[in-house]
Amino acid sequence: MSESLPLFATGRAPRILIVRIGAMGDVLHALPAVAALRAALPAAHIGWAVDPRWQSLLAARTEQGSALVDTIHVVPVAAWKEKPFSRATRVSIQSLRRAFRANEYEMAVDLQGTIRSAAVGRMASARVFAGRTDPRESLARLLYTQSATPRQPHIVQQTCEILSAAVALPLTPAPLSLDANPTASLWATAQLAPFAGVPVAVLSAGGGWGAKCWPAERFGQLAAALASRGVSTIVAAATDDNPAARAVVEASSGATRLIACDLPKLTALLRRAQICIAGDTGPLHLAAALGTPVVALFGPTDPARNGPWTTRVRILRGPQSKTSYKHTNAPDPGLNSIRVEDVIHSAMELLLPDR
């Protein structure tokens, strides 16, 4: 490490910027570390740079009810990528830089480790810019003024190590509660009303890339098999025309239906569901953060590093799976070896723990 921030030398609460732009699961994995930071420094001003799709997650609170984040800085990455040289993009970047500087951050911490996130964090002009020694994209390291090498296996623990080293305080992942949006809560109650008295499983067939996706036709077979056991299912997706979700419904022979929902609505659904069954993707980690039991279907990514955090869980991963974080669509043989019967057994263990 190089220079460290004298957090208490200025006589005022420290001002710290968290950079974790996306994706959903990664933002969720960063929240326990920031909850620990809030508990250790309750008077700190904490900002967070995040993709607009995930900003509702930042309404999370500590177990004691304190807000994790004071200021949310929206980073519209998709719009910037679509028109990188447009006047609108230049104006947006300039506006973000002004907002950072108006908040006078003394420290920025890059919890993402990409060139883009490092460039965003650098815009804050904080005296200390911290990250990990081995970021996802090695060039990001050149923009940091200090770095840390995590030793723990899980990404939640690693994130806490990076933040702990940055602020020079011992931090361990802390519990938190996610926002219960009132409008979304009413919507979810109405959506689940037809299933009153019946356990509901939320299925999510998507994934960050194709190799992380269990076949849609097996999700459909799973829905039919669960229905025969008295368990209703819904397939959650961002839009009505999501190809994977529609394929699940078609393969289920009418046993399930698709529900399109944004992030607050998905949160409300998962909060009320009895179980979530998904691959290594955002909805799985959202369910875990809400305390909903999960059956996690893993392929190329390592559940020891990326598995669900703090919930009852059954993790299935075929022995043929080899750990890789390359964004490939080639089917993963280990993931594809997971049978519908294996998933049913795990799901029923969670739904009927005393049997």
DSSP symbols for 123-139: TT--SEEEEESS-SSGG
pTM score? 0.94
Nearest to 223 by CA among 250, 197, 194, 256: 256
Q: Looking at residue 153, what is its pLDDT?
A: 97
CB-count exposure of residue 194 (10 Å: 0-12, 13-18, 19+):
exposed
Q: State how far the alpha carbon of 158 is from the alpha carbons of 40, 97, 243, in Å.
A: 17, 28, 34
**If residue 296 lies in a helix (H) or strand (E), which one and from where to where?**
strand 294-298
pLDDT of 3 reads 44
7 CB contacts (<8 Å, ≥6 apart)?
14, 41, 106, 167, 168, 169
Residues near 3 by Cβ (< 8 Å), separated by ≥ 6?
A: 127, 128, 145, 146
Q: pLDDT truncated to tens, each residue of the chain (355 aa)?
A: 344 445 544 557 899 999 999 999 999 999 999 999 999 999 999 999 999 999 999 999 999 999 999 999 999 999 999 999 999 999 999 999 999 999 999 999 999 999 999 999 999 999 999 999 999 999 999 999 999 999 999 999 999 999 999 999 999 999 999 988 999 999 999 999 999 999 999 999 988 899 999 999 999 999 999 999 999 999 999 999 999 999 999 999 999 999 999 999 999 999 999 999 999 999 999 999 999 999 999 999 999 999 999 889 999 999 999 999 999 999 899 999 999 999 999 999 999 875 5
For each of the domains in the chain, give its residue range(s) and CATH number, in order of start. Answer: 15-177 (3.40.50.2000), 182-351 (3.40.50.2000)
